């Protein structure tokens, strides 16, 4: 099947699903009410709870959940062939990922913007809340590490991206003040910001690449390895994350994500046009029947490698952590919760095509020549699994996508800059959103276990940043900062286990309100069994390799998951048809506890 036909059929499937299955969930299952009181209005504080136009919330939500997840995951997974990756992206997005995101968003809206961990306390038990929060803390620490490494790797490999990524920050602040302090419109500042952003892409490619020199001598110890460009960029990024995550959402988070959403639309449009014009043929095998011997088995590892491109537990944190606090009306939840996941699936489809067909249009052979066709794909995917690095996999999409855009007559080097900036900007949006979410988790843990200091947002953010940075520095083949491919399967397994636990919380919400849960059964079981299978496979592999710190982390995660499932089983029959206890009126809530004091509209 041709690449254009694959894209058209996939996109058509997403559109049909949104207008049929998505609408069914919105009307028949969740019964969205446009007149219901939402947290952004009931608890408006100008910092976290801010009523926001649906297009801005969609931009924030989409860029936060997308990041590099739907890029890195599919770019690695096509190692097993493009067809299995494509099928999981399309079917997983429609029936698993979008349902997960949508459900988490709705139950958070109806619980005064509570995070999914807090909702677990009311729907299942207090112990379930604490267990869930510990799983969230571990998962977000890995998310912060992996996405920080991805951006740092892009900065190191593509120095032409640095100027554009950082210039987006002052642009976002100016747009935020224009909209929220001056009452200005959205259209003009968005267009101007986009023009400046792409002007900086041009400057970065041709005139102002910003590069940190690599050490001349290879590092002989862990501490010597800390002066690598990837480690330095990662550290700078985490300092930025601390600042960004404690600012009000309207200052940087919302406008930056809105600008980046426009950038993505432009980049996706260029990729689609380039695909139509170039019509590249697949040069990768549909199914790679003979991957290198050290590659993990396609089943179950395909389903945790492609995380955000099909389903991601991290999305429930965005839905319930920031997005639910910004929606102006319940009726926007279908567009934001269900629709954004389908758009992410569309991005993952383009990534698969870029890696499996765009690469075949030509890549450098490293000695001044160009290789095309299947050998070009082999240049990125022909090595052993152990030698696949994050840089190479992200580079496969950047190079393949740039080839397709270049068919429109744009210089190839500029196309590489456009695609690389898009990847780095979206990873940055996920990084600082994840830091803010981790701050919420640490604060909630402090409240749950009675440690008052953890409820301070600066203390909580410091812990989030330091733990994320420590995980990012996990040493790989080349020392600190090169353990990205080691962390990615751990991220995938933990992330998908989190999705399974989120499905459990959504199911409890529905059975307490006498709603059907049949549509959650298969996705929920898949997201419990497959990630657990993959995690135990990795644990046994780490035992054989003597990587005891990863063994310990894997066992902790599995213990928490099993314990929470037991909590759910014990409460299942007791919960059916029993509404959770209503919350006290807002005026009776503890001072400063509004975000944690939620209330269920239908209780």
Could you state, in order of their start, the residue ranges of all structural domains in the chain? Answer: 3-210+223-363+380-596
Integer angstrom CA distances of residue 573 from 500, 523, 567, 570: 19, 21, 12, 8
Closest CA to 268 of 392, 168, 405, 73: 405
- Measured in whole angstroms, the distance separating CA 438 from the mean position of its chain's CA atoms is 14
User: What does the pLDDT read at residue 438?
Assistant: 92
In the beta sheet, which residues pair with residue 600?
A: 111
Extract long-range pairs of 163-166: CB within 8 Å, 24+ residues apart: 163/200, 163/203, 163/204, 163/208, 163/209, 163/210, 164/197, 164/198, 164/200, 164/201, 164/204, 164/417, 164/421, 164/424, 164/425, 165/421, 165/424, 165/425, 165/428
Q: What pLDDT, on a 0 to 100 scale, did the predictor assign at position 264? A: 80
In this prediction, residue 399 carries a pLDDT of 94
Q: How far is CA 97 from CA 93, 208, 297, in A?
A: 5, 40, 23
pLDDT at 595: 39
The residue ranges of the chain whose pLDDT is under 70 are 1, 216-225, 293, 386-390, 477-479, 482-485, 587-603
Question: Which fold is adopted by the domain 3-210+223-363+380-596?
Answer: Hydantoin permease (1.10.4160)
What pLDDT was estimated at residue 506?
95
Q: How much is the pLDDT for 482?
A: 67
Is there a contact between 348 and 327 (Cβ–Cβ < 8 Å)? no
Q: What is the CA radius of gyration of the chain?
A: 23
Which tens digit of pLDDT belongs to each residue from 36-46? 999 999 999 88
- 356 touches 377 (CB < 8 A): yes
The model's pTM is: 0.88
CA distance 450 to 431: 28
pLDDT reported for residue 349: 97
């Amino acid at each position: 099947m041709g690449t254009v036909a694959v894209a058209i059929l996939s996109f058509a499937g997403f559109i049909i699903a949104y207008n049929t299955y998505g609408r069914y969930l919105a009307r028949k299952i969740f019964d969205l009410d446009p007149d219901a009181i939402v947290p952004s209005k009931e608890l408006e504080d100008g910092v976290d709870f801010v009523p926001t136009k649906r297009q801005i919330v969609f931009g924030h939500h989409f860029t936060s959940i997308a990041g590099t997840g739907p890029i890195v995951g599919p770019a690695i997974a096509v190692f097993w062939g493009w067809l299995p990756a494509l099928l999981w992206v399309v079917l997983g997005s429609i029936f698993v990922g979008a349902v997960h995101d949508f459900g988490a968003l709705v139950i958070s809206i109806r619980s005064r913007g509570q995070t999914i961990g807090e909702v677990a306390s009311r729907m299942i038990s207090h112990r379930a809340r604490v267990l869930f929060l510990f799983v969230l803390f571990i998962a977000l620490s890995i998310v912060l590490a992996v996405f920080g490494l991805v951006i740092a790797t892009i900065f190191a490999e593509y120095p032409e991206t640095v100027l554009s990524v950082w210039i987006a920050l002052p642009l976002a602040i100016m747009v935020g003040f224009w909209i929220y302090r001056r009452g200005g419109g959205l259209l003009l500042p968005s267009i101007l910001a986009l023009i400046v952003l792409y002007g900086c892409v041009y400057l970065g490619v041709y005139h102002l690449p910003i590069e940190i020199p690599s050490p001349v001598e290879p590092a002989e110890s862990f501490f010597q390895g800390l002066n690598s460009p990837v480690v330095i960029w990662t550290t700078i990024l985490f300092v930025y994350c601390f600042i960004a995550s404690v600012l009000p959402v309207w200052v940087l988070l919302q406008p930056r994500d809105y600008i980046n959403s426009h950038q993505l639309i432009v980049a996706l449009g260029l990729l689609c046009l380039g695909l139509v014009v170039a019509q590249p043929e697949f040069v990768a095998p549909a199914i790679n029947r003979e991957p290198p011997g050290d590659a993990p088995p396609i089943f179950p590892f395909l389903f945790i490698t492609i995380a955000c491109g099909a389903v991601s537990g991290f999305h429930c944190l965005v839905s319930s952590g920031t997005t639910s606090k910004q929606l102006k009306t319940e009726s926007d939840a279908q567009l934001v919760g269900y629709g954004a996941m389908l758009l992410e699936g569309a991005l993952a489809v383009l990534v698969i095509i870029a890696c499996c067909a765009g690469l075949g249009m030509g890549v450098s052979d490293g000695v001044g020549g160009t290789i095309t066709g299947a050998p070009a794909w082999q240049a990125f995917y022909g090595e052993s699994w152990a030698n696949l690095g994050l840089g190479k996999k992200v580079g496969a999409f950047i190079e393949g996508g740039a080839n397709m855009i270049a068919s429109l007559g744009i210089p190839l080097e500029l196309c590489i800059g456009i695609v690389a900036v898009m990847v780095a900007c979206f990873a940055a949006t996920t990084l600082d959103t994840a830091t803010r979410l981790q701050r919420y988790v640490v604060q909630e843990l402090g409240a749950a276990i009675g440690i008052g200091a953890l409820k301070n947002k600066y203390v909580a953010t410091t812990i989030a940043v330091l733990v994320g940075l420590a995980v990012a520095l996990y040493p790989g083949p080349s020392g600190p900062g090169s353990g990205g491919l080691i962390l990615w399967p751990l991220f995938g397994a933990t992330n998908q286990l989190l999705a399974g636990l989120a499905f459990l919380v959504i199911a409890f919400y529905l059975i307490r309100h006498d709603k059907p849960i049949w549509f959650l059964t298969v996705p929920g079981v898949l997201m419990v069994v497959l990630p657990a299978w993959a995690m135990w496979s990795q644990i046994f592999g780490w035992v054989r390799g003597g990587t005891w710190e990863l063994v310990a982390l894997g066992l902790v995660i599995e213990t928490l998951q099993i314990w929470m499932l037991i909590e759910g089983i014990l409460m299942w029959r007791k919960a059916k048809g029993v509404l959770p206890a209503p919350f006290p009126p807002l005026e009776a809530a503890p001072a400063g506890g509004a975000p944690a004091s939620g209330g269920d509209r239908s209780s």
